[in-house]
Amino acid sequence: MEHFELISIFLFVLFLLLGTGVWVGFALMGVAIVGIELFTSRPAGDAMLTAIWASSTSWSLTALPLFIWMGEILFRTKLSQDLFKGLSPWMSKLPGGLLHTNIVGCTIFAAVSGSSAATLTTVGKMSIPELEKRNYPRHLIIGTLAGAATLGLMIPPSLTLIVYGVTINESISKLFLAGIVPGLILASLFMLYVVVYSLVKGQQGIIIDGAKSFKQKLAASRFLIPVLLLVMFVIGSMYSGIATATEAASFGVIGAFVLASVQGSMTLDTFKKSIFGAVSTSAMIALILMGASFLSLSMGFTGLPRALAEWIATMELSRFELLMALLVFYIIIGCFLDGISAVVLTIAIVEPMIRQAGIDIIWFGIFIVVVVEMAQITPPIGFNLFVLQGMTGYQIGYIARTAIPMFLIMLLMIFVLIWVPELATWLPEQMRVRP
């Protein structure tokens, strides 16, 4: 059977299962079973057990539930609320004023959360009421929050990078290092957009907070100290080579628990909710990874990834043309799947292509995360759009329109990464890290 027909059957089965409401993980397993039973002579049951066991026993994967738990603790305690108190005095005098708290707050919280949804919910609950009360443009409040919250996917500890690293068997710590500079540059581009927009349009009607002395600003900064200490503690232990990503995640959970307890916001109810939230999210991701691992094995048996890589090679696409094709591909698939599902579903096919094209695996991880970030604010399944709709009550179409400038900025970031790949590769090459 021609490989085109094989792909068509796989896609038909996948979208049939997803369209009937089957969970993503089970849908991936269903496609894998069809592939093995129809196109190979191998027993599907044995293959499934082997693939699921291998994907579930990866030591690197243990970092995932720990980082999720750390984010849950921060989300459910007063530590997250202190971000706005500490940032607002420093942001109020910039063009765009307190809108920058959306971006800087998301950047900081992303460094201890790893989740786009947790970052969006935490910062949004703090900033939206305060910014609306001061008459900031509604479309900028929503748009900057939608875009900046995606930084939780790139700035370490990124759950998407953990999943990518486990799937492609690459160092999690190196991937985390690679995400730092691009993440900060992307946050800076968001802030630059706010500055330019405010200078061009003006800030009529916005209520500006009273001027604060430098001493008052420093006093307000004490609210930032606990979160910043946690960031330095977790990230610094990895980048200094003291701890692996999993060990750093353990430090993060302990640090978040201690800080919340000292602050007095760690109650028994909060502790239980943080555990249940972490278990629920971790189980969902684990099921997707199991299904993706089985699907990767199934595709390997059918010879599809190798055939596709050879087909791409015969087209003699340049490195740039291949990246543009993958950019369009991931934007389209991201319209219908969440980021983690998009990564694990496609990497078995994409990996041979990028290796054959000589594209750096670490760099491609950052490339794919930026594109997945774009998918978070792309209809019809842009996850951040639905979270914001639930928080604000605005129509999904309106929220999507407010996020268009952020989408275009991320697109610009893609080309910046292509033009200057050292932004993602230099830091991992310079620093000694443990896997």
* pLDDT band (50, 70, 90) for residue 214: low
pLDDT at 213 over 70: no
* pLDDT band (50, 70, 90) for residue 1: very low
Residue ranges of domains in the chain: 3-430
Record the pTM: 0.74
pLDDT at 369 over 50: yes
Instruction: Tell me which of 417 and 162 has the higher pLDDT.
Output: 417
Percentage of the chain modeled with pLDDT above 70? 84
Separation of alpha carbons 87 and 98, rounded Å: 9
pLDDT at 305 over 70: no
pLDDT at 417 over 90: yes
Mean pLDDT (whole number) for 42-68: 75
Where is mean pLDDT largest: 110-124, 193-207, 232-246, 393-407?
393-407
> Among residues 103, 150, 163, 111, which one has the least CA distance to residue 131?
103
* pLDDT band (50, 70, 90) for residue 203: low
List the Cα angle 368/73/386 in 5-degree steps: 50
> 40-49, 108-117, 182-191: which has the minimum mean pLDDT?
108-117
Q: What is the DSSP string of 367-420?
A: HHHHHHHHHHTSSSS-HHHHHHHHHH---HHHHHHHTHHHHHHHHHHHHHHHH-
Peptide bond into 95 cis (omega under 30): no
* pLDDT band (50, 70, 90) for residue 362: very high
Mean pLDDT (whole number) for 90-116: 77
- Which pLDDT does position 295 carry in this prediction? 77
